[in-house]
Structure 1
Amino acid sequence: MSAPEPAPDPIQTPTEDSFVYITGPKLYAVVASVTLVAFLILLDMSIIATAIPRITADFHSIDDIAWYGAAYNLASAALQPMSGKLYTHLRSKWTFLAFLFVFTLGSLICGVATSSQMFIVGRAIAGLGTSGITNGALTILSNSAPLEKRPFLFGFVTAFGQLGIVFGPLLGGAITQYSTWRWCFYINLPCAAVAAVALVFTAIPERPVELDSSSSSSSYLKTVLSKLDISGFALFAPAAIMFLLGLQYGGSTYPWKSATVIGLLVGAGALFVVFMLWERRQGADAMFPLAMIAKTEVWSSMLNSMFLYGGVVLVSTFYLPIYFQGVKGVSPFMSGLYVLPNIGMTLISALTGGILLRKVGYYVPFAMIGGAAGTIASGLFSTLSPSTSTGQWVGYQIILGIRGIGIQTTIVAVQTVLTPDEISVGMALVIFSQTFGGAIFLAVAGTIFNNSLRELLLEYVPGIDPAALAKAGASGIRDVVSPEDLPAALDAYAKSISRTFYLGLASGILIIATAWGMGWHDIRAKKAVEDGEA
């Protein structure tokens, strides 16, 4: 009698040879839907900037301003690594729609909030939703088109999504001025509904491991839960939150040497050590698979993405509008218009990079060009002053926008060395690096700016009250400084802003350095296009 056959593994991965991509109107509908959602996510990040003054006036909550952004970022960063596991073992379309629903629910709670505490809860829920949306959008695109076509699609979605950053202050200012700030969040509901409807009625090819016909639903659910590394998430989430809170509080709410800040950072470090030991024990089922991260292409892409988004993109995104409003004295609406050269060039270079990458095949040169552009532009921005001409800051932004040529390279790089069922986790690691790196760099930039402003104001304008200036905000400097002292105060403000761009200068150099490790792989198709490819 022959030996009994082993029980079938309920988790099976479809092979690449049997994979059929979508094409034509279906592909267009998918790209349009995920692009709209990517736009909404970045819009939601920036639209609140011009609404916060009115929100704090309605809720009398000026002390809660930091939490309006922190709750959103902390929730997003804490859940992001888990999203990769969810997309690996669950169907990408429905997982994406679930995250979109959570984001929409958070937006609704923000819109109907009756207190500052309720608003903060809404921001946290919205952040949980965003944690899986970007990864989900890229996962859906990866399932919809072959590798050699993905750079253009990634560049398209990323570039148009970036428009949300510039339209945020413009739209937020207009809505807040002519209607109510609540529509800054209500606007997400109909837009998300349009994107959801388009996806619901489109069949998306699926790469996640699938249920074997001999397995029951309960058996599949049990298997999936065992693969999600929930214990790892329970260790990682509080470690990430404590670390980011330590950076958020340090130098602003509490001194760096305070027991609160030291306790948060030490606690985060200790819990992270326990988390890494647990991840090593979990092996391939870990939320942060160490064998995957150990691949040079993966960890280099994670670092490259962290420096690009955190040190170059986010620092310029946040501090250029502050320069225009605080030093140049323009309105929030006009400051949004003034950053159009950056956004426009980013859009052009990202699309161009996607097209050229498909023809050239090698992505490392594009990553290095993007890093070089970020280095040069950050160096130029570090010279900003009240007398900087329009031609100068427009030119600087155009150079900065060239960084878009390498904006999709990290996502492409990890896909060249990972198996189809590893791609979602790999992309989640890269996106987490962006979010976590952004939080770190913005915290450091905030410390540089605040400490420099306090020091230079006391030097240039003796007798001024830095606390009064901080309370007045970026656009209120002219209300708390006398006309005689205004030139010196503006000079202090401009120098403090310019010093934050030293982070971008250092990051640009590190982008070039880490690009070498992303791998010289040719992504061009090695065979004729098969039926079913886009």
Structure 2
Amino acid sequence: MTAPARPRSFRLGVFGLLLGMFLAMLDGLIVGTALPTIIGDLGGLDHLSWVVTAYMLAGAATTPVWGKLGDLYGRKATFVTAITIFLAGSMLAGLARDMPQLIAFRAVQGLGAGGLMVGAIAIIGVLVPPRDSGRLQSMIGAIMPVAYVGGPLLGGLLTDRLSWRWTFYANVPVGALALLLIATRIHLPPVERVKAPIDYAGAALLTVAVLALTLVAGWGGTAHPWTSPQVLVAAAVGVLALAALVPVERRAAEPIIPPRLFGDRDFTLAQILSFLAGAVMLSAVNYLPQYMQYVRQASPAASGMLLLPLMFGMLGAQTLTGHLISRNGRYRMYPILGGALMTAGTLVLLLLDTDTGTATASALTALAGIGIGLVMQSTLLLTINSADPRDMGAATATVTLLRTTGGSLGIALLGALYAARMHAGLTDRLGPAQADRLSAVTPAMLDDLSASAREAVRSAVTSGLHGILLGAAALSALAFGVTWLIRATPLRTDPSPTRPKRQAHTSDPGPSSPTGADEA
């Protein structure tokens, strides 16, 4: 069975949703290449990391809240509000006159960005049944590798040709187009309005947990040692907040993350896979460029380009499987195949050595990209198929949050392994004093080192990368094992609920409602 042809207005509306998602992904990456110029203009080198951290923290903490607000008060209106806040933060960030202002306005951007990804996926999840949504889900998946490649390149281009401020101003015309298309082309069915108080306690606990764990991931092994009071306190706060969240959510009338979602085995498995795939993907994307720059002596821009096989592997896998699933409705084989290829792909990358050719090193990343793409496509499909439309916002917020959290913690934990192996390699070859000095060496400084020191750094970086890859392979193997537990549940062929509905007050605001007609 193939998906019916959609009218042009529907396709334009979906394009608007995709633009909104693209803004959130792109802005997390586009600023990186502009940071040195920003520091030169505004100063505040000691606060540099918070330009990125403020955005990520605000986005991660508000993602579940946006999802639930969409379920309760209308997804279209909530999504439009998120875009508006994001654009306001973008304009303000472009106008910032000092570093504290920029950090504050980046946090405003993050508040809006938290609702962009989850809002778009939730709207698509209720507009299109899972059986017919494969192509749209593959388009969503394709945005990520495009953003990862295009973000740094676009940021560098805008900074070089115009000003670093245009890395923020450029969001405004794109966001305005997204708002126009969504307002005029997205029409949602009537909403099942639920009379229930907002789960303030659950939202507060979840926000504290996300913030604390994100700080652990960001601080551990870099800003502070893993055993430092700062990291230990943040970890304890995160764990305690999560422990307190469970009973609070069980008692809440409309919990931020409804426990009933985890009553479906496939939904729970999808969240585990999202966490694991996020850790593998972001670890590879962040540490493979280190190898390209230190060992293959590629420039920062070129090291990003050398990851194109990985990115296009993800894109191709998600696009192809989306079409195949829409055609025959069969999907269980894809996460299993993805888990196998993700494991094999990370192990294949262990072939990278100090004398591996640049073209070969780049090509070896493709297999892991294909596996990651298959797994990530499957997590979205399983989440949407397992959740009732009334909970679509909360469900998509959960899968998005877990992918982000998995990526953050994966980078932190595997990054600690990378640093330990790199330092050990330098110590073995050059001694402790030299190891301490060279652990902070940058790629640009390599030419100033002696031949023996340069070779020691290249070998140590390769050893550190192998530690990352072994950890990623273990996570991939765990994901592969989890995929075998997925059931071949038939995909829904209509977006209406298949499970019994709770009692609720239902209203039909009609197409002229200020919030836009929406579904539960």
Structure 1 range deviating more: 286-295 or 192-201? 286-295
Q: Name the amino acid aligned to 1:506.
A: A
Counterpart in the other structure of 2:333? 365
CA contact 1:88–1:424 (8 Å) conserved in 2: yes
Counterpart in the other structure of 1:172? 155
Structure 1 range deviating more: 399-408 or 148-157? 399-408
Partners of 1:108 and 1:471 lie apart in 2 by 36
The SS at the match of 1:252 is coil
Alignment of 1:254-273 (within 5 A): 254-273=224-243
What root-mean-square deviation, in Å, do the aligned CA atoms of Structure 1 and Structure 2 show?
A: 2.4
Structure 1 range deviating more: 427-436 or 463-472? 463-472
CA contact 1:207–1:421 (8 Å) conserved in 2: no
Counterpart in the other structure of 1:287? 256
The answer to whether residue 335 in structure 2 is matched with residue 352 in structure 1 is: no
Counterpart in the other structure of 2:169? 186
Task: Report how far residue 280 of structure 1 moved.
Answer: 1.9
Q: Name the amino acid aligned to 1:487.
A: E
Structure 1 range deviating more: 366-375 or 413-422? 413-422
The answer to whether residue 44 in structure 2 is matched with residue 74 in structure 1 is: no
Counterpart in the other structure of 2:118? 135
For residues 262-298 of structure 1, the C-alpha deviation after alignment (integer angstroms, 9 at most, x for no partner) is 222122222322222211222x521122222232112
Partners of 2:212 and 2:108 lie apart in 1 by 18
Partners of 2:405 and 2:441 lie apart in 1 by 29
TM-score by length of 1: 0.86
Partners of 1:449 and 1:231 lie apart in 2 by 38
* Change over 3 Å in CA distance of 1:477–1:467 after alignment to 2: farther
Partners of 2:437 and 2:35 lie apart in 1 by 18
Task: Report how far residue 22 of structure 1 moved.
Answer: 9.6
1:52 to 29, 35, 38: 35
For these two proteins, the number of residue pairs brought into alignment is: 491
Task: Report how far residue 67 of structure 1 moved.
Answer: 2.1
CA contact 1:326–1:477 (8 Å) conserved in 2: no
Partners of 2:354 and 2:33 lie apart in 1 by 23
Task: Report how far residue 33 of structure 1 moved.
Answer: 1.4
Counterpart in the other structure of 2:386? 417
Counterpart in the other structure of 1:36? 19
2:81 to 93, 98, 103: 98
Is there any run of 5+ residues in structure 1 with no aligned partner, and where? 1-20, 212-222, 528-534
Counterpart in the other structure of 2:418? 449
Alignment of 1:130-529 (within 5 A): 130-206=113-189, 208-210=191-193, 223=195, 226=197, 228-282=198-252, 285-310=254-279, 312-403=280-371, 404-462=373-431, 469=438, 473=442, 475-478=443-446, 481-523=449-491, 525=493
Counterpart in the other structure of 1:116? 99
* Change over 3 Å in CA distance of 1:194–1:470 after alignment to 2: farther
Q: Name the amino acid aligned to 2:265.
A: T
Counterpart in the other structure of 2:502? none
CA contact 1:239–1:268 (8 Å) conserved in 2: yes
* Change over 3 Å in CA distance of 1:60–1:83 after alignment to 2: same
For residues 205-259 of structure 1, the C-alpha deviation after alignment (integer angstroms, 9 at most, x for no partner) is 1464248xxxxxxxxxxx46x1x31221112211221222123222222222222
Partners of 1:442 and 1:180 lie apart in 2 by 31
Q: Name the amino acid aligned to 1:265.
A: A
Partners of 1:509 and 1:410 lie apart in 2 by 16
Partners of 1:495 and 1:355 lie apart in 2 by 40
Task: Report how far residue 519 of structure 1 moved.
Answer: 2.7
* Change over 3 Å in CA distance of 1:255–1:52 after alignment to 2: same
Task: Report how far residue 351 of structure 1 moved.
Answer: 0.9
Structure 1 range deviating more: 22-31 or 314-323? 22-31
The SS at the match of 2:490 is coil
Q: Name the amino acid aligned to 1:129.
A: G
Q: Give every structure 1 segment of 4 or more consecutive aligned residues whose post-TM-superposition deviation is greater than 6 Å.
A: none
For residues 18-70 of structure 1, the C-alpha deviation after alignment (integer angstroms, 9 at most, x for no partner) is xxx99311221022112222222222222222222222333333332332332
Task: Report how far residue 407 of structure 1 moved.
Answer: 2.4
Partners of 1:296 and 1:524 lie apart in 2 by 16
Counterpart in the other structure of 2:511? none
Counterpart in the other structure of 1:532? none
Partners of 2:300 and 2:100 lie apart in 1 by 26
Percent identity between matched residues is 26
Structure 1 range deviating more: 416-425 or 430-439? 416-425
Q: Name the amino acid aligned to 1:298.
A: F
Structure 1 range deviating more: 163-172 or 463-472? 463-472
Q: Name the amino acid aligned to 1:340.
A: L
Task: Report how far residue 133 of structure 1 moved.
Answer: 1.0
Q: Name the amino acid aligned to 1:441.
A: G
For residues 91-120 of structure 1, the C-alpha deviation after alignment (integer angstroms, 9 at most, x for no partner) is 222211111122222222322222222222
TM-score by length of 2: 0.88
* Change over 3 Å in CA distance of 1:169–1:80 after alignment to 2: same
Partners of 2:80 and 2:471 lie apart in 1 by 36
Structure 1 range deviating more: 426-435 or 446-455? 446-455
Partners of 1:145 and 1:445 lie apart in 2 by 38
For residues 367-407 of structure 1, the C-alpha deviation after alignment (integer angstroms, 9 at most, x for no partner) is 11111221111112233222112343233222122122342
* Change over 3 Å in CA distance of 1:244–1:204 after alignment to 2: same
For residues 323-378 of structure 1, the C-alpha deviation after alignment (integer angstroms, 9 at most, x for no partner) is 22232222222222212222222222211000111233232211111112211111
* Change over 3 Å in CA distance of 1:273–1:366 after alignment to 2: same
